[in-house]
A and B are shown apart, each in its own frame.
Chain A
Amino acid sequence: MFDYQFFIEVLVGGLLSGVMYSLVAIGFVLIYKTSGVLNFAQGAMLLFAALTFVSLVERGVPFWLALSATLVIMVVLGITVERTVLRPLVNQSPMTLFMATLGLSYIIEGAAQLLWGTQVHGLDLGIDDVPFEVGGVLISQFDLFAAAIAGTLVTTFALFFRYTRTGLAFRAVADDQFAALAVGLRLPRVWAAVWTAAGIVALVAGLLWGARLGVQFSLSLVVLKALPVLVLGGFDSVAGAIVGGLLIGAIEKLAEVYVGPLFGGGIVAWAAYVVALGFLLVRPSGLFGQKLVERV
């Protein structure tokens, strides 16, 4: 007999962990939308933010001070990246820029661990990870908290894009770089702002993931969890990142529980990729991605 309650529990757990994936994916989308760069360094930024925050807290810096200090550091990082990496590489092919972010991820990972050491840090955000029951289904309190944070973040960004001048500039640049330049928008400034925004997303995601997994090198590997999400949702859609994250989270958990035993388990490593790939073969630009127009 099929155990529906268990199924729903797995599904809800998957959806909630999917929120965490979305959180990482949103950082990618922000940068991809406005500058056409697939920023592989997003994972490294996440690690860097979480590691900096934890190390500050461990050295006795109060929570809010550490948070603001890390925020400032991420802003500086965003501006530095724009200055030293993006500006000299303007007008290069997307692949060149992607490779540059690969290099960037190595630099940030190396620097983060050189600065703060390679040991694992525990991170306590003050939220108990106690599951509670809703209609017979166990739900993790921490996951709900993460979902709430993600929801707030997305809403803030949505409002920001909708109602501020900087947000308008973001959308203009995302829509058409040349037109944006022609009406006098300063691309470098927009890019610095968008990398800063991605840095903030990285900080939030880093803290949540860090509280879950412990702050350590493997944190930068969550980037690999976010890639299938992006493929599924489309690289340039925030909505896609959210829906894609939820889908991947749910599919991954369900596959591990129901399909995994057929292969002897451990399929989490690639299940998401296979699903994303299969999907791509049907819709090459993802769920919400922009259609590519082919011209010679």
Chain B
Amino acid sequence: MTTAAHPVAGRRLTANHLGIAVLLTAAYGVIPFAGSDYLLDAVLTPFLALALAALGLNLLTGYAGQVSLGSAAFLAVGAYAAYNFNLRVHELPFLVSLVAAGRVAAAVGVGFGLPSLRLRGFYLAVSTLAAQFFVQWALTKFGWFSNDSPSGVIDAPPLAVAGITFSGAVGRYLFSLTVVVISTLLAIRLLRSQVGRNFIALRDNETAAKVIGVPLLRTKLLAFGVSSFIVGIAGVLWAFAYLRTVEPAGFNLDRSFGILFIIIIGGLASIRGAVLGAAFMVVFPLLLSRLGAALLGDIFNSGVLEMSQRIVIGALIIGLLIAEPRGLIALVDRLAEPILRRFSRPLSRSTQS
């Protein structure tokens, strides 16, 4: 992962800011009114949860260079922690259990990140698998985590913040959207600080980073902690806003790989890449099933769909790694550059004068 990070944009108003403003206006002002329940519930809410999870993993893998194959474990920790805070602490505001769940995930993440102090590369990647298996096992084995429900299934509590209950497709969507926007802003803030630069130094050359005085121990554990915190919160969204009934088996290795694939496809070390990758991973299976059904008819059943999905995603990953290691977002940027240049010039000039 030797891709250079994007140079941090200055504080000028650029076409990027304009684009984000348009997107946010649409996300808050148009979609809740225009989108159907199906679009909100089955496409946008899971997209938001996955985008946040991918953002969290991207901090760890894309920016700090520590590959993790156990993201689903931290999704699960977040979801089950929030469930238990909500269940066991009487009248705890949901926002508090959300943040507390993130903290629990962060603590577990730091715990499983400890080996990173001595291990690198593949050895570390393998050790993150331990988190994957251990967490899934613990949640299934010990009934306490799921309040003794059979096979660890939990049902989501209502999403209530300051007396407002976010129910219905629109409510859950807006709740997820707000959580994702705030977390993303915080992540951007972090990446532009010294910590973010330390992450990148650690990724690009660990020994050199150590030599110039980057505190490796702190930086690594911080990367694991922050990443797991965000993934944990994404887990709460995934479990409570999207699925609403989850079991530990849902947070399996395939889910972990799915999140890793999002950032490879979308773009490593890019926040927009994580978002784009998540959008792709949600929309692509839907498109493929429509397309397959239209072209092949009945032969294209769910089994065939799943297999062809695997093949296409696998091929796409290899293709992108060969042709554009910075992911789809780099492709989009390159295509959009000539158009954006035309727009950004007058804008930046007006703010400079």
Contact = CB atoms under 8 A, between A and B. Distances in A.
Interface in B1-28: 1-2
Given A93-B2, A231-B123, A100 B321 contact: yes
Interface stretch (B130-138, B187-195, B273-281, B332-340): B130-138
Interface string A179-218: 0000000000000000000000000000000000000000
A107 B310 contact: yes
B35 interface: no
Interface stretch (A4-12, A126-134, A273-281): A273-281
Interface string A273-291: 1101100110011100000
Interface string B198-221: 000000010110010000000000
Interface string B111-149: 000010011111101110110011011001110000000
A106 interface: yes
Contact of A114 (B260, B307, B325): B307
Contacts of B310: 106-107, 109-110
Interface string A256-296: 00000001101101100110110011001110000010111
Given A95-B1, A96-B325, A276 B126 contact: yes
Contacts of B120: 284, 292
Interface stretch (B42-50, B51-59, B227-235, B312-320): B312-320
Nearest to B67: A95
A228 B311 contact: no
Interface stretch (A19-27, A84-92, A240-248): A84-92
A264 B303 CA distance: 35
Contact of A88 (B65, B125, B322): B322
B87 interface: no
A51 interface: no
Contacts of B133: 269-270, 273
Given A110-B307, A269-B137, A270-B134, A231 B318 contact: no
Interface in A84-139: 84-85, 88-89, 92-96, 98-100, 102-111, 113-114, 118
B183 interface: no
B95 to A, nearest CB: 33
Contact of A99 (B306, B309, B321): B321
B126 A230 contact: yes
Contacts of B316: 103
A266 B126 contact: no
A296 B317 CA distance: 31
B317 A280 contact: no
Given A95-B121, A263-B141, A107 B130 contact: no
A173 interface: no
A41 to B, nearest CB: 9
Nearest to A284: B118
Contact of B141 (A114, A230, A266, A292): A266
Interface in A128-163: none
Contacts of B118: 280-281, 284
B304 interface: yes
A84 to B, nearest CB: 8
Contacts of B211: 296
A235 interface: yes
Nearest to A109: B310
A111 B309 CA distance: 10
A79 interface: no
B126 A228 contact: yes
A147 B253 CA distance: 30
B299 to A, nearest CB: 11
15 contacts: A85-B322, A94-B121, A96-B1, A99-B317, A109-B307, A110-B306, A110-B311, A118-B307, A231-B126, A273-B130, A273-B133, A273-B134, A277-B115, A281-B115, A295-B207
Interface of B: 1-2, 65, 67, 115, 118-123, 125-127, 129-130, 133-134, 136-137, 140-142, 205, 207-208, 211, 253, 257, 260-261, 264, 303-304, 306-311, 313-318, 321-322, 325
The 3 closest A-B pairs by CB, nearest first: A106-B314, A103-B317, A110-B310
Given A99-B260, A110-B307, 18 more contacts: A89-B321, A94-B121, A98-B125, A99-B317, A102-B314, A103-B315, A111-B311, A113-B303, A118-B307, A224-B253, A228-B126, A235-B122, A235-B123, A263-B141, A264-B142, A277-B127, A284-B118, A284-B120
